[in-house]
Amino acid sequence: MAYQGVFSLSFLLLTLPFSLSNPSPNPTSFRVDLHHRDSVHSPLHNPSASSYALRKLAIERSISRHNALQWAISGKYSPSDLKTEVKEIPGEYLMKITIGTPPQPFWLTLDTGSDLLWTQCEPCVVCFERDGENFNPENSCTYVALDHTAPLCHAFHPVAPTQNPCPYYILYTDQSQSTGVLATESFTFETSRVDATTTNPLSTAYRISANTGYNSSASANPLSSPCKTNTNACYNSSATTNPKSSHNFAETNLSSSTNISSDSTPGSKNSTTPSASTAGTSPSVKVIRTTDAIQTVLTGIGFGCGHNNTGNFIAAMAGVAGLGGGLLSLPSQLGGGKFSYCLTFGNAIGQLIFGDNPVFDGPNTKRTQIIKDPDNPIFYFLNLEDISVGDKRLNIPPETFDNGGFIIDSGTTLNYLANQAYRLLTNELKAVIQLEAANDPRIDLDIVLELCYKKSNNYEGIPDITYHFSGGADWKIPPQNSFEHVSEEVICLALGPSEDEEASILGNFAQKDMVVEFDVNNNILSFAPADCTTF
């Protein structure tokens, strides 16, 4: 989800005290179940929709997201440029979490194109319609609204705000927006893979010092003591101000927020970062095992509690979980800056993993550098050097992708290539594929999906496509990951041309059945083939 809100961020390294239900000297890295938005497990599942109709909608969302990414990267935004009407915020993979103590369950959209986890909260001033209840901080004893002096607040704002509690503001490229309060809370992540072999230790470094609460006069931080049965009595009685009762959301001053093209973008020469000497309360982690699930409970996670949220949001979703390269994202708060995912086809459940992943010790692992763009620090850019069709290199000119103008993104379904590379690839495919060409009269997206054929058995006659990334990292895309079924009889190349050379994209369709790891600290992308239904 491309957005225009800007964060100028820095971190503090903290020791993470482990509190395990099954004590172990090496607590495990943890997993979360991932669901495609159209799967039977998703709250967005529409049992009456045909598979063709769902694919068409996914393609439309992909076009909208690609346009949004182009706008965000170029710094040029014009709503009139929309080629497809945006009916809702794009987001292809979802995860279910619980927030607060006692826990309140919510579905969030996963997004590698933004870096803040936020959810819609009570009291709701102006909000989008929800199918369920909003998160209510009054019902949680682990909620802490942040003071404007908190390091996380300083990290969010290039110019420190003066009001309490600390505000946040995000504007997305389709003009959807979320406004609210920065806070910390307890989050529970659950996986159904009880036999998973993720055994490497979870990092003992929590990276954001966020827990300077708005209730700064309290003699004890509520995160440091157990919650009481009466959640309204969780806060220290000596406090002169309760952070839950003093918010003035309608009058929050957001003048310190900036546009993505501003010189105060994170990583730019004019960005402001807070001192790394201030420490907050160290968050804690607890792992709970049952016969059919593993839950990881983390207390003290920074997030946005949104009280004004308008735009193309989905009623079944409570907010967004940012996995972008910015320093505020979940990967940067959890697991020492590493996360990986394994995306699935159809109704199968995929996995999101925080921490080290032992699969990347195997011989099939490929690694390439993540290119950091100071003007767009939330995106994961890669250096694509060339493309092959079968065994034939296309010899794409090196300047085509501008040494890093290629994004890997979980929220875009299709792949996109700069025009020159797109033409070289499609021309070669036309030359080698001998199947009967086809156009599906029910799909009105031929400008995007222009290379279509009558379906063959087991994709016979269709070659592999290999993306050659720097460092000798070859990503082989088999036919089932490059050609999409747009109807019962027709398959089309899941690839579109990109007008902006900096917005070539490796989308999620090509990433399925590939476990992909993002090492945010060391700027390394690792990947290896896997059966994501059992991974």
What is the DSSP pairing of strand 319-322 with strand 118-120? antiparallel
CA distances from 389 to 178, 395, 424, 431, 442 (A): 43, 11, 10, 10, 29
Strand partners, 353: 31, 340
**Look-up of token digits 């319609």:** 129
Say whether the peptide bond before residue 102 is cis (omega within 30 degrees of 0). yes
Sequence-ordered list of residues with C-beta below 8 angstroms from that of 48, at least 6 positions apart, any chain: none
The SS3 assignment for 81 reads: helix
The two structure tokens encoding residue 100: 């607060």
**Look-up of token digits 């994501």:** 532
Catalytic-residue membership of 402? no
Q: What angle do CA 282, 287, 290 make, to 5 degrees?
A: 165
Q: How far is residue 429's CA from residue 353's CA, in Å, rounded to a whole number?
A: 36
**Residue 330 burial (CB count, 10 A):** 26
The SS3 assignment for 511 reads: helix
Question: Which residue out of 111, 147, 174, 375 is catalytically annotated?
Answer: 111
CA distances from 169 to 6, 180, 256, 438 (A): 9, 7, 9, 47
HEC string for 148-182: CCCHHHHHHCCCCCCCCCCEEEEEECCCCEEEEEE
Catalytic-residue membership of 111? yes
Question: Which residue out of 33, 409, 440, 519 is catalytically annotated?
Answer: 409
Active-site positions? 111, 409
